[in-house]
Amino acid sequence: MIWKEIYYINLFFNKHSTNVSNVYGTVTDLMLNDIWKIYHYSVVVHHFNEQDMIDKSNIIKNVGLSKYSNLINIIDHKKINRIGENKFDLSKDWYLAQQNESSLKELSNNVNNYFRNIMSGKTINCMWTTYYESKYLISGKGFKKGFIGLNDLSTKLNSNSIYLAYLCNNFYPQSYTQRIFPESTYALIEILHFISHSAIRDGKEIWIYIPSIRMRNLLNHWILENS
């Protein structure tokens, strides 16, 4: 009989975790040629910031961006958009739900298909974002380098990016009750701020993959209002 020594590790670090050190544990490999699954962990987490939202809110009526609204092409592709058909799909909680493992794999394949096959994009022309803590759940070989975290958008620009992917569905955190703007306005602010850091700032046409039907509808409505 072969005995195997097992140590339990907390591999699921989320918003309820309070001690980063709890993520790590000890595993003794008894050289049984087991296949170990590699988990990625990032201590960087996307946080909601009310003042940041207020500072960015003028983007909705920004003349410099709205005059280019006709240059925004939202990807209308039934197969790769199917993953975001429900209201809360691609929200922060959706990513953290363990039962969505197959959906995360599907999303990774969709993004890779979009960048590499549908758009035939080069790495330098691709830019995508999601919540920091979700990055390693979906990043793939075909688009890994084009990632810009939501927290980085105030400092990073990519004027070469004409193929974008917005893999978020923004909602207020439950702890935020003041709500200066409607929740839909907050979501629109975030996606417009992301778009404004692409090649559109130079008057270039862009294409954007938005799996969340809620986020697509918000952006479509803004484009219609500014066309």
CB 79 within 8 A of CB 109: no
pLDDT of residue 175: 83
Those residues whose C-beta lies under 8 Å from the C-beta of residue 149, and which sit 6 or more positions away, are 44, 46, 129, 131, 132, 135
- Annotate the chain with DSSP letters as a single string: --------------TT---GGGG-------S----PPP----S------HHHHHHHGGGGG-HHHHTTGGGEEE---HHHHGGG-STTTTSHHHHH-GGGHHHHHHHHHHHHHIIIIIS---GGGEEEE--GGGHHHH--TTTGGGB--GGGTTT---TT--EEEE-------TT----SS-HHHHHHHHHHHHHTTSGGGGT--EEEE---HHHHHHHHHHHHHH-
AA identity, residue 127: M
- List the one residue out of 169, 39, 18, 164 whose CA is nearest residue 91: 169
Distance CA(135)–CA(147), nearest Å, equals 8
pLDDT of residue 111: 95
CB 54 within 8 A of CB 200: no
pLDDT of residue 122: 92
pTM confidence score = 0.78
User: Tens digit of pLDDT per residue, the chain (227 long)?
Assistant: 454 444 444 444 444 454 444 444 445 555 555 554 444 444 445 567 787 888 888 899 888 899 999 999 999 999 999 999 999 999 999 998 856 788 999 999 999 999 999 999 999 999 999 998 888 888 776 677 889 887 676 556 678 999 999 999 999 988 888 888 999 999 999 999 999 999 999 999 999 999 999 999 999 999 999 98
pLDDT of residue 118: 96
